[in-house]
Amino acid sequence: MSLAKKETQTIDEGVHISAGYSYLLTNDFRLNPEHPPLAKQLAAVPLLFTRPVIPTENKSWKSGDQWQFARDFLYESGNNPQNILFLGRLVIILMTILLGVIISRWTYELYGKVPSLVASILFFSSPIILTHGHLITTDIPVALGVTATAYFFTKGVQANSLKWLIWTGVACAFSADVKFTGVVLFALVPILYAIIHYSAKHRYPHLGLKHFLKMYVLMLFFTIFLALCTTGFQINVSSNDPFLGASHISQAQEFLTLVNPKLAWAPKAYLWILRYVHFIAYPYVSGLLEFITHFEAGHESYFLGTYSDLGSPWYFPVAFFIKTRLAVVILLSLILTLFVKRTFWAWKFKLFAESYGKKIIKWVKSWDPKYVVLVFTPLLFFLSAMQSKVNIGVRHILIVYPFVFILVSALWTLRVNLKKLFKTVITVILGVSIFSTALIWPFPMAYFSEAIGGAPQGYKYLLDSNLDWGQNLPYLKEYLAQQNIQIICLGYFGQGMTTDLGVSIRPLYDNETIQDHEPLRCVVVISAQLLYDRANSFSWLQNRTPNAIIGYGLYIFDLRN
């Protein structure tokens, strides 16, 4: 709550809250189409009670410039920007609490009271949850939706009850309408169902094609209905859309000139669809097309000290390892090691033994549906993320963390040799995980594993929303006041209002222009994202030792002397 009140808006928040508010008031979806509307609309609901001014007469609205419109809405229309952000963040905080409740309840049903408490502690003390659990983005909402879908799906395959199938459909619809990543559920659910049907048909005779189709149809129905509701039941054709539709048509025409003539039928068919097919819930469909285009086209990303436009399949495995608390990684490794030991070593598999295949089949048929869901849901989402060319933050795999916390909590139920010693050790490790979060406070976004040297070394591996997303201006303001600094040369990566710092701001010169302005007698403040940018524009600063670092991402160099 304290972070929600204090932090400046991060890069995406202004766009999300201004777009959501505009959806509610105008039923116009021109802004921020690359994300579905629901999460933004929910975040904007509290604004309906305070009625901030919405600048729909501005040039930014007419041109569909979402970034400028967000600045106009928050800072140029007489509104209270921090109050707007706080109200929107309250909705995300409520979703975070609800996600924690689902994790606690599911763990309690699986393992009992103590593991439920452990899972809750791991969740609410996690730096990634503390970071994104109050920000107006789509990451917590989709994690809530996917976790709820997995929980209700488990109930739905174990009990032959329409109630759980309906709840599965509702949760799936919520997931798909808060972030397009949630659409992956429509591929994931059939895979999970097939595995469970093969392994547990003898225990749950109601499982079969009819049962699956009933569930899947409900998922589709609720998703389409919710998409229609959240887009104002709009029906449109892309050729009539002056914003995203025109962009898609232009891209398709450009691709048509580049593709092999033998394959020209594909972009031609796509063009025909864009020009003539009327889509129900058009803003949702057009946004989904934009998401797929972005997914395939890539995004500039920083990974292990280098930049790429096409990402790396190793980005998320490395990001998970270095952005997850070392103590939690140890606990996860321990539960996986014990699983492998008990599953394979106890059976003493021999590679060429005749019974090897039969033992595998017997082992698969012993799987419990709830563990199939707990293991395969995060695994398949993780593998899907590894295919993405958009590598800009561990937050994109936040979905996997609720499942990790539930699985790790199972350690407190195991029957092992030296049981008291074992529980003492894992409880101490749990305590260390909490302590590591306390050490990084109030900058949980900057947490990096102790295995790589912690937050001070994070800039060598990942940037963007992994380290500093522009949220630390209030802490910078406090530092400048304490040091009685009146003038700064600023290079800021973010969307906050730097004029609120209360100091005179001068430009910060890059490598090409610094020689014409030496000596630069001021206090330099520069974000890590700019200090280590792709063009290496500020290499003249990189070899200097900073006088201070605010939040591990704002570097301060005193060049006055």
Q: What was the pLDDT predicted at 548?
A: 95
Q: What was the pLDDT predicted at 256?
A: 66
Query: What is the number of H-type helices and E-type strands within the chain?
Result: 26, 9
Q: What was the pLDDT predicted at 465?
A: 93
CB of 366 within 8 A of CB of 342? Answer: no
pTM of the prediction?
0.93
Among the listed residues 43, 35, 1, 36, the one whose alpha carbon sits nearest the alpha carbon of residue 18: 43
The span from the CA of 28 to the CA of 31, in Å, is 8
Coil, strand, or helix at residue 166?
helix
Classify each residue of 20-59 as buried b or exposed e, where b means 16 or more C-beta atoms within 10 Å of its C-beta. Answer: bbbbbeeeebbbbbbbbbbbbbbbbebbeeeebebbeebe
The span from the CA of 342 to the CA of 340, in Å, is 6
Beta bridge partners of 8: none
Beta bridge partners of 235: 280
Backbone φ/ψ region at 232: left (φ over 0), alpha (ψ -120 to 50), beta: left
Q: Which amino acid is at 431?
A: G
Q: Which amino acid is at 91?
A: V
User: Tokens 């932090």 map to which residue?
Assistant: 7
Q: Would you call the peptide bond into 442 cis, given omega within 30 degrees of 0 as the criterion?
A: yes
Q: What was the pLDDT predicted at 204?
A: 87
Q: What was the pLDDT predicted at 71?
A: 95
CB of 559 within 8 A of CB of 517? Answer: no
Q: What was the pLDDT predicted at 344?
A: 60
Residues of the chain with pLDDT under 50: 346, 351-352
Backbone φ/ψ region at 56: left (φ over 0), alpha (ψ -120 to 50), beta: alpha
Sign of CA dihedral 90, 91, 96, 99: positive
The span from the CA of 530 to the CA of 307, in Å, is 13
H helices of 298-325, in order, are: 315-323
